[in-house]
Structure 1
Amino acid sequence: MRRIVVTGSLAYDYIMAFPGSFQDHIVPEMLHKLTVSFLVDSMRRMRGGVAGNIAYTLALLGERPLVLASAGQDFGEYRTWMEQRGIDTSGIVEVAEDFTASCFINTDRNNNQIVAFYPGAASYSRHLSLEQLSLGPDDIVIISPTDPDAMVRHAAECRRMGAQFVFDPGKQTPRLSGDQILAGMHGATVLVGNDYEFAMMAQATGRPVEELLQAAPLTVVTRGEHGSTIYDWQRDEVHDVPPAPVEKVVDPTGAGDAYLGGFVFGLAREMPLPVAGRVAALAASYAIEQRGCQEHSYTPDEFVARYERVFGRAPELARLSMIATVR
């Protein structure tokens, strides 16, 4: 039976809202000694972390993903939340002497973000291994941002076991060395990143973006409100995927994680890539409409109905309700 394994961070997100614009308080000619402080209007602590967010979307769509990650002594209620939503938490190790990772996200009125991340117990993830899961070619592993050594190790383990894997350096891109980025890409089934992250990867590796785009059989480049592009190098096809309309932009945090969860769901169900991309875009739109990464929800029927309103009928989604029912 095919399995989807999600590796990456588990964290508590501290979501803050700044009523102004960051750029109004930055003096370009003084960037070499930048000192700024932003008085925010609100702050909420929410469940997050890339692995948790991706798994949440997969669970909403009817999958039962297994999460391989490390968390801290304060993780108990988060674990219960995940299990109640159909996520397999058997791969999550709790570290008694540390706290769950914390992500502090400040968003301005233009949806620009300044993020600080404390890894906490996530650093222990470098000691976790996929080998015990005995994965094979039918299984899919998502390697998302966490401890850099863990990301490289998991990629190597997937290659040894012959498992398919998705490499998404995401917000860890600035911390990854060029060699680590190339090691994570090597043998990947899918390479994922936004346009800015690909520019950073090119800078770190010394290789042009055009070359990096061809590092995996499938490459996905996301561009926020401008949609995404899927490069299928095996078929020599390029698919431009439009964004899904958003009823109200509340918080973009977690949209990329929801996109990846939706895309991997479509990939696992062998949907045509344009359909998988649209599933991903729609999953992302739900996240944008709520503050926090796991505060939105929908039933499979609601998801299919909204998909058909936005993109038209897709026969591949007809079985979505049945998938959730027999999960």
Structure 2
Amino acid sequence: MHLAIAGSVATDHLQVFTGRFSDSLVPDQLDKLSVSFLVEDLDIRRGGCAANISFALAALGHRPTLVASVGTDFVEQGYRTWLEDAGVDCSLVHVSPTAHTALCTITTDDAHAQIVTFYPGAMAEARRIDVGEIHRERPIDLLLIGPDDPAGMQRHTETARSLGIPFAADPSQQLAWAGGDLIRDLVDGAAYLFSNDYEDALIQSKTGWSADDVQARVGTRVVTRGKDGVTVYPSEGPAVEVAAIPGVTSVDPTGVGDSFRAGFLAGVAAGLTLERCAQIGCTIAASVVETTGTQEYRLTREAFLGRLEGAYGEAARVEVDAALSLV
């Protein structure tokens, strides 16, 4: 199954604040907000939603096509080689001759709340990418459209609809600023809609749609809930509840949602049930949250399957073992 992953590629600057952001916020003074947080650590890592999802898919045995816009530093600093060595197809990545690859600064506090600032840089040129050309060269079975240049996200969505390419909508970080019209356009007709529980509420609030309205416009709605697991709402039938992996030592939550999406899509590509798809997603997400950085974990077949079996049972292991080709 040819999976194409459209979205951001970025360099992540990860910082840790000892304390809680909320302790420095005065609720009735937020319109005058002026705060400064002294951080103790700085870790520079490879990141970006599309790159993270592609890396995780490769770790699970796929060769996804990365659809993204980057700067020349993507090559110069070895990021392209890193992804290609992992098994990601970067042959169709757009390289801007003038702009720097996007930069994301993420500060995490003791409660795992995060403050994120994002410089788009070369990502703004994603609107120049024609998914139709990629599809004509090698037919796309499922296109994930993740957070990216807004005009690029719209173009990819419109192209997918016009060409009949099944797509997964994953607007996530772009929901905070996007208006209802844009969100409705990005979501409508998606085969899959990914969000966390906060983003799910934001989609409903900004579009004016109820949960049932959203469900009527997509195929399968997938809502992650952190340590409380995930709820999958199929187009027909009851919701599927999957618990998170127990006993996880959380180190860094950055990129956990991206890895879940990759695991879920790997299950979809293998023709597994929605329950198994979510279980694969939760299992790989546990590996990511236990490491600093979004692409620093390593999966081995036995360890991965053993962890999945410990949480979800022997039947889950047998089915996933037969379906995935991770080493």
TM over 0.5: yes
Distance 1:196 1:141, change over 3 A: same
Tell me the distance in 2 between the aligned counterparts of 1:117 and 1:287. 21
Query: What whole-Å deviation, never above 9, does each CA across 1:156-209 have from its counterpart, x for those lacking one?
Result: 111122111100111111232211111111221001111111222222212223
Secondary structure, aligned partner of 2:239: strand
* Displacement of 1:55: 0.5
Secondary structure, aligned partner of 2:259: helix
Give yes or no for contact 1:61–1:300 (8 Å, CA) kept in 2: no
Distance 1:246 1:213, change over 3 A: farther
Which residue matches 2:129?
128
Secondary structure, aligned partner of 2:123: helix
Give yes or no for contact 2:193–2:220 (8 Å, CA) kept in 1: yes
Tell me the distance in 1 between the aligned counterparts of 2:56 and 2:246. 18
Q: Which runs of 4+ in 1 moved over 3 A?
A: 135-138
Tell me the distance in 1 between the aligned counterparts of 2:19 and 2:196. 25
What CA RMSD, in Å, does the superposition of the two structures yield over aligned residues? Answer: 1.5
- Give aligned-pair identity as a percent: 37
Tell me the distance in 1 between the aligned counterparts of 2:303 and 2:142. 26
> Which residue identity lines up with residue 179 of structure 1 in the other structure?
D
Give yes or no for contact 2:73–2:100 (8 Å, CA) kept in 1: yes
* Displacement of 1:247: 3.0
Distance 1:46 1:246, change over 3 A: farther
Is 170-179 or 69-78 further displaced after alignment?
170-179
Structure 1: runs of 5 or more not aligned: none
* Displacement of 1:319: 2.5
Which residue matches 1:69?
68
Is 141-150 or 307-316 further displaced after alignment?
307-316
Distance 1:138 1:55, change over 3 A: closer
Which residue matches 1:210?
212
Tell me the distance in 2 between the aligned counterparts of 1:41 and 1:213. 43
Is 147-156 or 50-59 further displaced after alignment?
147-156
Give yes or no for contact 2:2–2:139 (8 Å, CA) kept in 1: no
Which residue matches 1:150?
152
* Displacement of 1:217: 1.4
Query: What whole-Å deviation, never above 9, does each CA across 1:261-319 have from its counterpart, x for those lacking one?
Result: 10011011110111111101111111100011111111233211221122112232123
| 1:282 pairs with 2:283 | yes
Give yes or no for contact 2:270–2:323 (8 Å, CA) kept in 1: no
Give yes or no for contact 2:189–2:219 (8 Å, CA) kept in 1: no
Give yes or no for contact 1:143–1:167 (8 Å, CA) kept in 2: yes
Distance 1:287 1:219, change over 3 A: same
Which residue matches 1:252?
253
Secondary structure, aligned partner of 1:225: helix
Is 76-85 or 291-300 further displaced after alignment?
291-300
Distance 1:7 1:138, change over 3 A: closer
* Displacement of 1:246: 4.4
Distance 1:63 1:246, change over 3 A: farther
Tell me the distance in 2 between the aligned counterparts of 1:287 and 1:217. 28
TM-score of the superposed pair, with normalisation by structure 1? 0.95
| 1:171 pairs with 2:173 | yes
Question: Would you say how many aligned residue pairs link Structure 1 and Structure 2?
Answer: 322
Distance 1:95 1:246, change over 3 A: farther
Secondary structure, aligned partner of 1:173: helix
Distance 1:237 1:93, change over 3 A: same
Aligned pairs for 1:1-327 within 5 A: 2-76=1-75, 77-134=78-135, 139-233=141-235, 235-313=236-314, 314=316, 315-320=318-323, 323-324=325-326
Tell me the distance in 2 between the aligned counterparts of 1:286 and 1:320. 20
Query: What whole-Å deviation, never above 9, does each CA across 1:223-260 have from its counterpart, x for those lacking one?
Result: 11111100112x32210111112431101110100010
Is 198-207 or 277-286 further displaced after alignment?
198-207
Secondary structure, aligned partner of 1:32: helix
TM-score of the superposed pair, with normalisation by structure 2? 0.95
Structure 2: runs of 5 or more not aligned: none
Query: What whole-Å deviation, never above 9, does each CA across 1:5-61 have from its counterpart, x for those lacking one?
Result: 000000000000001111111111110110000000101110000000000110010
Tell me the distance in 2 between the aligned counterparts of 1:249 and 1:189. 31
Give yes or no for contact 1:255–1:287 (8 Å, CA) kept in 2: yes
